[in-house]
Amino acid sequence: MRGTISRLFTRTALSAFVLLAAQAGHAQEVLDLPAMPGISGYAPPTIDIPLAQQGDGELRLAAHLTDESPAISRGLVWRVFKPEADESGRLPLVASAQGGSTTFNLEPGSYLVHAAFGRAGATKRITVARGVKSETIVLDAGGLKLDAILSGGVRIPSTKLRFDIYEEGADASGDRPLIIPHVRPNSVVRLKAGTYHVVSTYGSVNAVIRSDISVEAGKLTEATVEHRAAELTMKLVREKGGEAIADTAWAVLTDSGDLVRESVGAYASMVLAEGDYAVVAKNRDRIYQREFTVAAGRNQDVEVLASEATTD
């Protein structure tokens, strides 16, 4: 189902999202998500000494979102590697640190220094000599903050809402690689500057919005989607307003006959995208059905009367 933009900040219109650009400092907020460095194949130290080794060279490191932005003060993960792989094919890890700008005391030589900031990261080859050496790494990264509402600006419970972030382009199999699953609403995700495919899911059935979102370096992009859906609770009753009949099997179909959801119980509760549906309730050897319409933002109970029925 397609969503409707509630407001627009940038000049480039996106079909389902509102983009808001903030200053670089806002993209440095603490994330709920763990850091994911770009270098994954490395070997841990093989000797029992602290990772911040003592050496004759002092390496001072700072990372920036852009060339013009200030140094990042927190949320960084630094890792220093030897540039030659060991017998297992992995890069030996020499030192690591977390926080903002940092200093390593290293033996003179060549190293690969990796800075990770959320899902954004960059690697730089640095040669350390005796004395003090200062280096900066530009991450070319920004932040992405996602949220969703219902028609009329009604908030969606965060427990029923999730976002999945994919790469913009498809891989060789035709699928978009998943970058971050199950992102919580209003959490700031640090990403490399670029365009990403974002999927917003309300509930667990068919209320889904998709859009491509651009993340700018040094800025926080806020995206809000409007879901055109509602929460439905279905029950089989002997009379209007009556008690729900237990042990009922439920099947919800689209108006074209496609199966949407099946469940068993006295109630069948779910979020459905707006549109026309039919519900089939089976209790013991009898089948009951009813057609109904879902209007965006209008939660409702759907009662199926146990009167006219067909025998299974």
Q: What angle do CA 299, 300, 305 make, to 5 degrees?
A: 165
Q: Are strands 286-294 and 275-283 parallel, antiparallel or unpaired?
A: antiparallel
Q: 154: which 2 tokens?
A: 């009604």
Distance CA 116, CA 79 (A): 8
Give start-end residues of each CATH 2.60.40.1120 domain in the chain.
19-28+141-227, 230-311
Q: What is the DSSP letter of 49?
A: S
Superfamily of segment(s) 230-311: Carboxypeptidase-like, regulatory domain (2.60.40.1120)
CA atoms within 13 A on the CB side of 62: 12
Query: Which residue ranges in the chain fall short of pLDDT 70?
Result: 1-55, 308-312
Q: Are 245 and 238 in contact (CB under 8 A)?
A: yes
For the CA atoms of the chain, what is the radius of gyration?
A: 27
The yes or no reply on domain 19-28+141-227 and CATH 2.60.40.1120 is yes
Distance (Å) of CA 27 to CA 51, 118, 162, 183:
29, 11, 21, 16
For the whole prediction, is pTM greater than 0.85? no
Superfamily of segment(s) 42-138: Immunoglobulins (2.60.40.10)
* 165-197 residue pLDDT tens: 999 988 888 899 999 999 999 999 999 999 999
The CA dihedral of 81, 82, 84, 88, to the nearest 10 degrees, is: -60
* E strand or H helix at 109: strand 109-117
Give start-end residues of each CATH 2.60.40.10 domain in the chain.
42-138
Distance CA 152, CA 232 (A): 18
pLDDT of 309 reads 55
